[in-house]
Structures are given as C-alpha cells and as structure tokens.
Structure 1
Amino acid sequence: MVKPARLVAVGVLALSLLTIPTIINLLTDQAPEWLKSPLLLLSILVVAFAVVAADAVRQGRQTGGGPVGKDGLYAERLISGIRRTLDEMDRGSIAAEAGVQLGELARLPLPLRAGNDGITGAADLIRTVGTERGGFSVVVVGEPGSGKSTLLRDVGWHLVEEADRLRRSGEEAVVPVPVDAGTWRGETELEVHLRETLRAHAIPPGVTDRWLDEGTLYLLVDNLGWLPATRRRKVIEELNTFRDRYPAIGMLVCANEDDQTDALGLRTVNVEPVSREQVLLHLDRAASTHQELRDVAAGSGALVEVLRNRLFLTAALLAFPDRGGSRVVRSAHEDPREAIIWAYVASMVARDPGLTEPESFLGRLSWIAKQLERMGTFYFHDYLVSGWLPGKGRRRVVGILIGVLLGLVQAAATAVILVPRHQTVGFAVAAGLFLLSVGVRLPDWPATTEPVHTFRLRGSWSVREFRRGFRRPIGFVTIACTLFDLYHLWGHVPGWAAYDAAQRRQVLVFALVAVLAVSGLGFVQGWTLEAVDTQKWAASMEPRPFGRYLIRVLRWAAIGAVAVGAGAVLVLATAWLIMHWGEPVNLRPAAGEGLLVAAVVFVVVLVTLLGVRVEIAVVEALLRDDGLIPEDLPGFLGRAARLSLLQRTGGGEFAFSHQILRYYFASREA
C-alpha cells in the first residue's frame, strides 16, 4: 500500500515540476521544442491532479487511517496519553493523597468475592485482566466508598505499564482506556465517545477501527453508580450494544449494587465489606501516628461503623493525626461523619491557609472545586457554577446586551471605513456584522452553567490538514484557481516572442500574483485556528493588568488584518489583471481595496476580543453583587465537603438532588 505521505509528496512534486517548463517558456525563446509542447504540460497536469484526487478518494474510503506499520507509534502515543489521564485521576483522588502522606497505612485490604473465578483480592483481579485481556469482562460491585475506583486505577496502571513493556519488546499490547460515566452519561454512543477520546490523543480513525476489531483496547468504566436511574439504564444499554458490536474488547465496570447491574450480563466480582475487626487492626498498625483515633474508636461503636467505609477511614486518617487535641474525643459523642468531615476541611485549610482570605477566594475557586471533586462528586462543580454565578436569565440578557454593543461598534466602524468608497457594500457588511454579533448570543450558550474561563488562540499549519482540505470547498477553489491561472498563462505563452517589454512585464506580474494567490489558498487550506480553554477562571477579585491583554489583542488583530488583507490584495490583483489585460499594469486599486479589508478585519478582531474582556468584567461585577464571597469560608467549605462525602457514600439518598443542594447553600451570607 502506498503511504499517504508519499502520495502527497508526489502530488506536490508534480505541481512543482509543472511550473518549470512554464517559466522556461516565459523567460526565453531558446527553449527546446519539447519543453514548449502543450502535451508535456497537459500530461504533467493530469498526473498531478490524478495523484491528488486518488489520495483524496483513498483517504475518504479509509477514514483517515494510518499505515499498519505505524501502529507501534500510535500505541506509544496512546500509552503516554493514558499515563497522563491516570496521573490526573490520582491527583484528584483522596486515596492517592493519603497514599502520599501516609504510605501503606492509607489502604485497607480489598478482599473480593468472585464465585468460581478464583479471584480473592485486587492482585488476583489485576493478574486475570492482564492475562485474559480482551476475553475478560467483569463488573466490580460494592458499596459507595468501598474502594472500587482505587481498584480501577490500580488495574489501569498495571495494564498501561504492561502495555508499554510489551510494545518495547515488539509484542502485541492491550492499552487501557478510562471511561468516566459521570462525564459521558450515555449522551452519545460509546463508540462515538471512544473515538473522540482516541482522537484527542491524535489516533487516526482508521487505526481506531483496527484496534476495535482486534481487541487492542480495554475499557475501564467508572462512576456508573452515581448516575440517575434513567441515565444509568441508558449507559448500560450503550455498554451492551458496544459489547455486541465489538466482542473482542474487554471491559471492567465499577458500579454500586442495585437491580440494574445484572442487565450488563457480565461476571460479577463483589467487594467484601470491611469488618469491625479489620478497622481496629488497621488502626493498631497506625498507632504510632494515630493513637488518639485508635483509642477513641476502641470505645465507640458508632465511630467504627463509619470507619468501615474506606473513604471515611482515609479521610479520618488525614484529618486526625495525633496533635494533642480533643477533636477525636468529641467525635465519639457527636455525629462521627460530621466530625470527620469538619476535621478534613480543617486539614484542607491548614494545607493552604490563604484559602480563607476573601480577596483570593474567586481566584481560588477552581482549586476549591478540585478539592471537592477529589471526594468523587461530579455534579457539585456544575452546581457550584450555576448556583453561585449569576442566574441563567440575567446571563442571557447580559450576553445579548453585550452582543448588541459589540455589533453597534463594529457596524459603525465598518461603515466609517467602507461607506465613503463603497456605499452599498459598506452598509451591507456593517448590517451583517451587527446581526452576526447579536445572533451568536441568541442560542443557549450564554445561559449554560459552565464557568467563565480565559482562553488563548492557537494556530497551526499541517500537511494533514492541507490534504484533508481537498475534500472541503477550499480545496476545490484551490484547484479551480490553479487551472484557471494556468489556462490564462498558457494562452499568452505562444505570443511571448512578439510581446514588447511592457506586455512581457504584465505576463510576469500576472504569473507572480497567480502563484502567490494559489499559495495563499493552499496556506489557508492547511491552517487551523482554535481558541484553547486555559481551564482558569476568568473571574478574580485581584486586579489584572489590562495593558498586557490589550497588547495581545492588538497583536492578534494585526496578524488577522495582514493575513486577510494580503489575501484580498492577491485576489483583487488577479481579477484586475485578467479584466484589464493589455492595459498598463496598475496594482494600486487592488492594494487600496485590500487595505480597506484589512482595516475592517482589524476593527472586528479588536472589538470582539476586547468584548470578551468586557463580558468577563460584567460577570465579575455580578459575582460581587450576588454576594459570591461568604463571610464564613471555612463554614462554606465544610458544607460543601459534607455534601460531597454524603453524596459519595450515601448512595442515591443525596445524589443529584438540586433541592438538597439549594438547602445547604441557602444560608450563605454576602
């Protein structure tokens, strides 16, 4: 099979060779007759575009797949990406945090019950998954907070390290792919979601197809138990559909025990509950650092019952190191869960004392959300945004008003630039910009509960995008312009010897402009520009320098103006030369019109990006007016952590109830 890169190289080389005889014909009358032959030019042209067309058709049929020989490269790329994903999961885990601070004391034994499979512990499960790979699918069932997610991460790390070892030795590797049901929620087919995940790791669709058919992937599905019943049923249906379509793919699913788990039709491994004796034995091992907790637990059955939940035991070990206080003693006489939660919040604040400073609260809001997400709740962050940012209705109104403001400024500036030269066109462009600026704010996106994040622009050019461009309109425009320019040039080649100096200069100028114009189209064809979310909150109580942002905006506006203006000059110059052939060459009109286009683009980009800053400033003002910053920040963190842990360990009792969320946050003070 011919590699796509070689096909593209042949096509580009053929197009380059096409210009050689043309230049020779234009610059000299002493060229050999075979170089002046139309047959040569036509044959090269046919070969060049045949190669490009064949490449486009082949790419369409194979859906962008890469060559089989590069599977090792793609596997290495995916393994590296999965490592980063697992590392992020560890950083967001309270168990991983405890592992760093407490070492082996952070973990209770994780006994499993699996019937006739011979699986009695986490090591057995990991070994079985690694041995049977795609032929082994299992559901790990246990109570909330029993350690299922920790087990899943352990399996993921084992598989990814084993996959890397096998890849280095040239053997076939099975790569784990974590699937978070809390963020996927069955809103798309699992196959589509998986393809998007692999595309984020730069895996071509064709390679994904091959891996799905061959069982190269192993799915690790977590957080199924935290979905509402109807959504959980939908996810289970999607899992079953995916298994029927790709039987070679194995999966490990973590779920709470309920009446829907059996619908998966997979073998089940149960996490055994922790006994009272195991808790006390584990506290005996930690007596050197947690003697007070051990002594209080020995005389409090209620505290031990709470500590039988692995998540609360881990939180208690982090919250109650021996410090000579009486917090643990009080926990025996109060609600033990409440005491553990508040103590953990105190340890959270102790790790970062600046967290309770109101001035930095907004700037640290994403950090707070991360601390709460490590408790395992997936919807609290969404509520944190929707409950504390301005309401949906007001955000929609603010967004539309800002759109009207930007539209008016852009329309007025455009009219000032264009109307004196082109009255009808100027008014039409100004009206279009106004409608566009307002119209993009009419959909639901201004009313979402997503946080207001900053972003940065990132542009890149690649041969891959250039090749894919031949399946888009820009590719057909490039080919059409190339053919038209070559035809026009070829029509004047026979008369080159009879041309005077002015006519020859006109032909050469046209050739130069045509080459630049087509090259510009090719550049645009392979260029991608995207706004990258920085995942940083735009809202902040700390004043941020406007000058730095203004300089960055001016730079992007200038780049956009130069690029679009140069393109307009080339297009208009080509059109002028064709329409005024035989007249003296004069590119000043085209340059003047291109300058007008560049001015309009500069104003539009400048106003749009400055408008983003205006919108952020308005949101910040609304946040302050809404009393976003509570006076009692430790109290706020305590209620938030309490809700998170209850949602994580209380099953459906506390999960996904906005009424309960509002109840816990109704007492916030401005």
Structure 2
Amino acid sequence: MIFERIRAFVSSSMEELEPERLAVKQALDELKIDAWLFERDAGARPESPALTFSKELDSADIYVGLFANKYGAYTVEEFELATTLGKDRLVYERRTALDGRDPRLEAFLARAGHVENGVTVRRFENASQLGAMVKDDLAAWQARRIRDQRTEMAQRRATPGRDVEQSQLEILRRKVEQFWVDGVLKHSLYDEVLIDLGIEGNTEAIDHPWATVLELPDHSTRELLRSRKIADIFEEAGRSLLVLGEPGAGKTTCLLDLARSLLASEHEGITPVVLNLSSFGSRSGPLFDWLTEEIRGRYQIPKQLCRRWLTEGRLLLLLDGLDEVNESRRADCVRAINAYVESHGAPGLVVCSRVAEYVALPDRIKAWGAIRLRPLEAAQIQSYLMQIGPRFAGLASALDNDESLRSLATSPLLLNVMALAYADASPEAPSASADTTPEKRRHALFDRYIQTMFARKGVREGLGTRPQTIAFLAWLARAMRGQGVTEYLVEQMQPSWLTKRWALAAYVVTGRTALALALTGAWGLYFSEGSIRFAAWAALSQALAVSLFELVMAGTGLSRTLGWLRPIGIWIASGLVVGVVVHVGLQTISPSPSDVSFSLDQVLLSALGSILIIAPLSIVLALKARLPLTKEIETFESVGWSRRSALKRSWGGVVVALGLMLLVENALSGLAAASGWRGYATVVAVGWLAGFGLGGVQPRALKTFSPNQGIRRTMLRAALVFAGCVGVVLALTFGSDFAKPGMWVGLAYIPGALGCAVFGGADIVLHYVLRLMLVISERTPRRLIGSLRQGVRLVFLRQVGGGFIFVHRLLLEHFAGLSTPAPRQPG
C-alpha cells in the first residue's frame, strides 16, 4: 500500500440499522476507505465504550451518521464530538415507518439539519439505496478534499519578491542546473555509452527505457505511456508525487528530469532544489531545520535566506534517497516530511524511495500521486541494444541465453553498466562468471566495469596507481556510508571521519597545540616581554591540559551532558595548569634570584596572569562548545554589503570603540595621553568606520562553487577580520606614550588573532590538521582534489558543484564492500 488509507467513522444504532451498516461498509471498501464500525472493530478494550469511540473518532477523517427511529445517547454524542473536532460530517436519514420515531431523535435531526448552521441531511429508503448514496458522496468528498488541498497550497505559493532576492534565487537556480542537470543528468551512464560510441546524445528524442504505473490517493491505478513526460505526471498528481522503484530503476534520473523541466518552465517564480535525505538520520529536529542546513551546505546559500525562502514557499523540494536514511530514523523522516508540509506548505514535493524500504514503513508520505518504475522487459532491452549499435551484438546474444544475466539487465542502471563493460565483447564474455546468484553476478559486473574504465582511460601521473585509486575509492565509499552521506564535500569533513582512536587523539593534541601557539604563545610572548621559553611553556601546557580534558569528556560522553559547562571546565582546568607554569616561568625569567618569591601576592598575580594568557584560546573553544568534538569544524557563508544597513549600524561601532577605549585607559595608564579631544575624535572616527564597514555585511549566495571553496572563502574572511582588528587597535593606540612602538604591534596582534580564530581561522587550522591525520592514519592521497577528479574521469564519481557523488548507490556499495589494502598514495 503506497498511500495512507482514509478512515471513516460510521455511527448509528447497531440493532436497528444492521443491514444499512453492512451496506455502508461494502461501499467504503469499494472506495478503499477504512470504515470503523464499533461491533466489528472495537474488540475487547480496557477503556470504556465512550472513551473508545472518542479515540477512534479523533483519528478518523470523516464522520458518517445513520439515523432511523430510535434515539441513542451515544450516537448523538458522537455527532456532537465530530462537530467539536471539526470533522467533515455526512448524515443520512431513513424516511420509512416514522410512526414509532422517538421525539428526541426528531428534535436532534431538526437541529442537525438546520438550514443556516447545520449539515445537509440526505434521505434513503433501503440499504442498497444507502450504499449507492454513500459511495457517490464519499467519492465526491474525496475529490473535493484534494481540490481544497491544492487550492490551499496554491495560496501559500510565494509572491514575487524584491529584485535583490530574485537575483539570489536566480543564483540558486543556476546552481541546481549546473550541479544536477549539467553535472549529473547530462552525464548519466546512458550518455557515457553514447560518448564511448561517438554518438551525439539527444535525450529529448529518446524514450526512457522503463515503464511507469501511476497510483492516486483514491487507489486507482493505470499504466502510463513511456512518452509521457515526468513534468506532466507531476502536474496531474497535483505537484505532490512519490517515485518508487527497485535499485537502479531510474528514480534519480526521473527526479532530475523533472528538475530540468521545472527550471526550463520558470514555474511561477518557484525554484526547485534537489536534496538527498540520507543525512537526515545524522541530525535531530524538524525537517525545516534539516532543509536549512542542507541547502546552506550543498548550495552555499546563507542560512538567513534559506529560512526565509522556505517560510515564503519559494522552494520546490525534490527529495531523493528516502531508503538511504538510517533504518532507525526512516519512519521519523516520513513523519517529519508530513509535518513540514502540513505546517509550512510546499509549492511542490517529490520524494524518491526503493519499493521494499517504503512499503515496510509504518507511515506513508502524504502525496497526491505516486509512480512506480517497472523493470525493463525483454523487448525493451533488445530495442535499447539495437538502438545504440552493432557493437553490442555479443551482449545481446549473451542476454538471450543467460537467464541470470538477463534478470540483471531489467535494471536500466545495470543495463548501461553492461553496455560500457561489454562493448565489442564476445557472447561468452558476459557469461564467463561461474557465479549464479544475482548479487554475485552484480559484483562480477561491477568488477568488469571498473577494469574496463581503467583500461580505456588509464590513471594520470602523480595520482597513484590503479590499486591505490581503487583503495582510495573504497575508503571513500566506506566513509560516506558510515557518515550517512551520499555527497562528499572536502570542506565538510569532520573529525568523525577518523576511525582510529589514536588518530582522533593526535588530531585533538595537534590542533590544540597549533591554536595555542598562535594565541596563548603570542600573548605570553607579549606578557613576558619577549621570553620565548616562557611563551612556549604557557602554550604547550594549555594545549596539553585542554587536549586531555577534551579527550576525557569525549571518551566518557560528558561533553553531551555538560553543555556550556564544558568550556568553563576547560578554562578552569587549563588555568590551573598554566597558572603554575606562569608562576614558575615568571620566577625563571626574573633578572635576579633575589626577586624570586612564592608569596601569596605573587601567586595571585600569577593566577591573574594565567587567566589573561589562556583567555584567547579559551574563548575560541568556548564558542565551539555548542558542537560535539567530532563535528567542530565549520565553514562560513558568503556575504555581501548593503549601504542602508551600514548607515543604520555605524553608530554601534562608535559605542563599542569608546567602550574599548575606556577599558584600555583603565587597564594601561600609558594610554592616558590618548584621552584628549584629538584622541577621542580619532576613536569616534575609527569606530564609525568600523561600524559602517561591518554593519553593512549581509548574507549573499555564492555565484560559483568549486571543490574546497568553502575553506578558501573562510580563509579570506579570517584574513580580513585579522587585518581589520589589527588596524583598529593600532589606530586606537597611535599617539600614545608607549616607550616602545613595537609594543603597539604586540597589543594589536592578540585581538587580531582572536578575531581571526573566531571568524574561521581556527576552523582552517583544524581542517588541515584533520587532512594531515587522514593522510597518516587512513593513507588518503595528499592531492585529494586531483584524486577525486580522477574518479570523475574514470566514471566512478560525478562532480556536483563543489561535491562528489558516486555514479550510483549500488556502485558506492560495491566499492565499500571491497577488502583492499590502503597503500600509501603519492604526493
């Protein structure tokens, strides 16, 4: 069953109208509507009859009431409860033998059928007449319900927005077209067959080699012609469609074909977005939040714009891979989709899934139509092979004589793989495998496909040998499957990709040490007036203390329960360690042994100094405490600049600058000379310029997106923040009576480095430390992007914007199952 069946609550006097109740049940069965009758469906229950019928009525979609002569208190209560719950109500009255009718029932029917605020009561004479009436009325109600839902959806559709937002939506449209239509659909395995044969592809002129079956919510089913376009089916189904099929049946191709049609038609200003549901299982929360994060990550659209477009109904959701969601979360995913559509609406929705996984779910997608992609028939397979040329005569002959091979060829994906693997092959080659089970034959087919691609295209110098490339792709497939993703983006790798415990520990220690040297070490160098030994002690002691604390919390699971206590604990723990080092270090660099003191005043001074020294790194780690250790790396969105916002927020910069100036004057008396009117005028000017520059920053969509672009843009952002912070501090301290001008630079470096770390610098450091750990522990290639592009050239991967996907889930599963060693990759 594809759809959730409609439920009707049938209410009447059981003894008086038993034949009529059975007639209604039969009529509803013919409409494939579940009819709930107390005597048949209630069974033995621990609750009272009143509570039983109230629960069932609450879960029903429509109330059907039958009345004759007897007055039943429960029957009237059921009608009143249906009214209170806002259920649609259909009331039927038998108008025969009225002499014995209870006056209370007569009064109730008069009230229920009141001309202004009642329902329209339909009258019947016998059970057969009633059954026909109910069947006609429920069919009309069901059709009206679908029309009303479509009307409500149409009213939620977005109205044209401002020119700025339209330009941002146009960027998103171009990305969807570039990533999925140009990058995947136009480079499908079918097109690879044509390219390999030197044939110019024309996908518009070729019928899809599969048949479809359309099923509607009324459970009517009919076969569709192969010439029917998916866009027409989508419209017929009310722009709410479920696409089902076996593995390799063409579900994703069908989805992307629809995306191409929608992009070409500019559907009322609505933009289609293609997303894979596989990562839904890795996050908790409503679908709205998941959609926001996915669109932001996959298409590099700022979160603010994502949320606004979803709320305003500007995005048409094309969701692939429901069957790829973790099994324990798949039912939650269905419920989240239904809840999202009910609460937010959607100008259109398509969900793709394998048949078996969908049928096994307890809940159903509330779509208005579904298509089921059928396997290829023998005539279709032969027609396909004849169409693409005589080089496949050997394959066609093998398919005629090998039933096991022919069963694989009923999948369009595997048929295309056969065409690429066995072009110009003899009839014996496809049947050479001694394996007879479909799964083993499929593995043998993919092995042949991999060998063929290497033989035809080879490997490029400096990117590894054939075994090294296969080992890398096998690692990538296992890692993607373990992370629950179908698209690999280099910048979205997290420490959770490290499978060995020692590698995760090395990542934590190395990353914290690098950050400590940049923040704690530099501040300690300034604090101790140039003692490199003191600065190194301070940095390394904090790095080791923080690393130990982080690893203990991650290993015991405390990081999830402590929440914001985690950064406080880090600050305290590392402060105690660094405090000891600071005190010893200060005594070590003392110019005279007589100055060495362990008095309480000196210890308190050292403690205060340690808190100041460890503050920059502690602040950075505190801001990251909202994320688990294994998912702590973030990249930043693209931004633009608005003069209107800059003018509104510029005076905020003045307030902040004056506040900082007062703090600096109180902390460092050497700046007192800067507090004259000229100094304050400088501060106001610098603050206004900083507020004007930063206040105009607004989220924008990236016009282009290439591999690792998120890291490059984060690096640029961090560099700009560093330069801005250093410039502001130098401007604030310029003209002060510091004895050494070089101390200005030291004082300016700390806020610059802290701002740089907070706004992406720390993530850059951690990203490349993670890459280093993956090279060491998993032996991934150092030239990662080049190796991925080689996978694209070998037709194992597809590049989707800045990400990479395997050409099909079945190929990913094949690579993930390969037990290959991981030889060291060349640089």
Q: TM-score normalised by the shorter chain: which range applies?
A: 0.5 to 0.7
Counterpart code for 1:79: R
Residue 595 of structure 1 pairs with residue 699 of structure 2:
no
When residues 245 and 370 of structure 1 are mapped into structure 2, their CA distance, relative to the original with a 3 A threshold, is farther
Other structure's SS at 1:665 match: coil
Higher relative contact order (CA 8 A, sep 6+): 1
- 1:84 maps to 178
CA distance in 2, matches of 1:254, 1:296: 33
CA distance in 1, matches of 2:416, 2:174: 30
- 1:44 maps to none
Measured against aligned partners, the alpha-carbon deviations of 1:161-192 in whole angstroms (never above 9, x if no partner) come to 011xx6xxxxx344322231123447442223
Choose from 601, 605, 613 the match for 1:430.
613
Measured against aligned partners, the alpha-carbon deviations of 1:358-409 in whole angstroms (never above 9, x if no partner) come to 8468996899479969x99965888x99999753411221023214533663
Alignment of 1:264-283 (within 5 A): 264-266=365-367, 267-283=369-385
Choose from 221, 225, 230 the match for 1:126.
230
- 1:10 maps to none
- 1:416 maps to 525
Q: Sequence identity, in percent?
A: 15
- 2:289 maps to 192
- 1:463 maps to 642
1:241 Cα offset (Å): 0.8
When residues 616 and 480 of structure 1 are mapped into structure 2, their CA distance, relative to the original with a 3 A threshold, is closer
1:243 Cα offset (Å): 2.0
CA distance in 2, matches of 1:610, 1:176: 36
Contact preservation (8 Å) 2:331, 2:362 = no
Other structure's SS at 1:354 match: coil
Alignment of 1:153-552 (within 5 A): 153-163=256-266, 172-185=268-281, 187-196=284-293, 200=299, 202=301, 209=308, 216-247=314-345, 249-257=347-355, 258-260=359-361, 263-266=364-367, 267-322=369-424, 327-331=429-433, 336-354=441-459, 359=464, 368=473, 391-403=499-511, 405-406=513-514, 409-410=517-518, 411-420=520-529, 427-433=610-616, 435=618, 447=630, 462-463=641-642, 467=646, 470=649, 476=652, 478-479=654-655, 507-508=677-678, 510-526=680-696, 535=707
When residues 668 and 268 of structure 1 are mapped into structure 2, their CA distance, relative to the original with a 3 A threshold, is same
1:154 Cα offset (Å): 0.7
Choose from 140, 150, 175 the match for 2:253.
150
- 1:38 maps to none
RMSD: 5.8
CA distance in 1, matches of 2:636, 2:501: 29
1:345 Cα offset (Å): 0.4
Task: After superposing the two structures, state which structure 1 stretch, 421-430 or 395-404, moved more.
Answer: 421-430
When residues 247 and 306 of structure 1 are mapped into structure 2, their CA distance, relative to the original with a 3 A threshold, is same
Measured against aligned partners, the alpha-carbon deviations of 1:50-82 in whole angstroms (never above 9, x if no partner) come to xxxxxxxxxxxxxxx995566644543332232
CA distance in 2, matches of 1:332, 1:306: 15
1:100 Cα offset (Å): 4.4
Residue 569 of structure 1 pairs with residue 730 of structure 2:
yes
1:296 Cα offset (Å): 1.5
CA distance in 2, matches of 1:611, 1:368: 24
CA distance in 1, matches of 2:621, 2:416: 51
* TM-score with structure 2 setting the length: 0.51
1:648 Cα offset (Å): 3.1
CA distance in 1, matches of 2:640, 2:466: 40
- 2:819 maps to 665
Measured against aligned partners, the alpha-carbon deviations of 1:501-528 in whole angstroms (never above 9, x if no partner) come to xx9x964564344212331243344469
Counterpart code for 2:232: T
- 1:139 maps to 242
Measured against aligned partners, the alpha-carbon deviations of 1:113-143 in whole angstroms (never above 9, x if no partner) come to 125576614653524356468x331212221
- 2:776 maps to 621
When residues 664 and 73 of structure 1 are mapped into structure 2, their CA distance, relative to the original with a 3 A threshold, is closer
Number of residues paired by the alignment?
A: 531
When residues 459 and 427 of structure 1 are mapped into structure 2, their CA distance, relative to the original with a 3 A threshold, is farther
Measured against aligned partners, the alpha-carbon deviations of 1:221-274 in whole angstroms (never above 9, x if no partner) come to 211122233322111101111221244532122222223386123332222222
1:621 Cα offset (Å): 3.2
CA distance in 2, matches of 1:350, 1:313: 20
Task: After superposing the two structures, state which structure 1 stretch, 360-369 or 227-236, moved more.
Answer: 360-369
Measured against aligned partners, the alpha-carbon deviations of 1:559-612 in whole angstroms (never above 9, x if no partner) come to 766533332233446xxxxxxxxxxx8555696653222344688879977787
CA distance in 2, matches of 1:376, 1:344: 21
Counterpart code for 1:391: T
Measured against aligned partners, the alpha-carbon deviations of 1:253-307 in whole angstroms (never above 9, x if no partner) come to 2222223386123332222222233223333334512111112212111111111
Contact preservation (8 Å) 1:389, 1:623 = no
Higher helix share: 1
Unmatched runs of 5 consecutive residues or more in structure 1 = 1-64, 167-171, 486-502, 538-548, 574-584
Contact preservation (8 Å) 1:564, 1:598 = yes
When residues 388 and 122 of structure 1 are mapped into structure 2, their CA distance, relative to the original with a 3 A threshold, is farther
Counterpart code for 2:688: V
Alignment of 1:11-160 (within 5 A): 67-68=161-162, 72-87=166-181, 88-90=183-185, 93-98=188-193, 100-101=195-196, 103=201, 109-115=209-215, 116=220, 120-121=224-225, 123-129=227-233, 131=235, 135-160=238-263
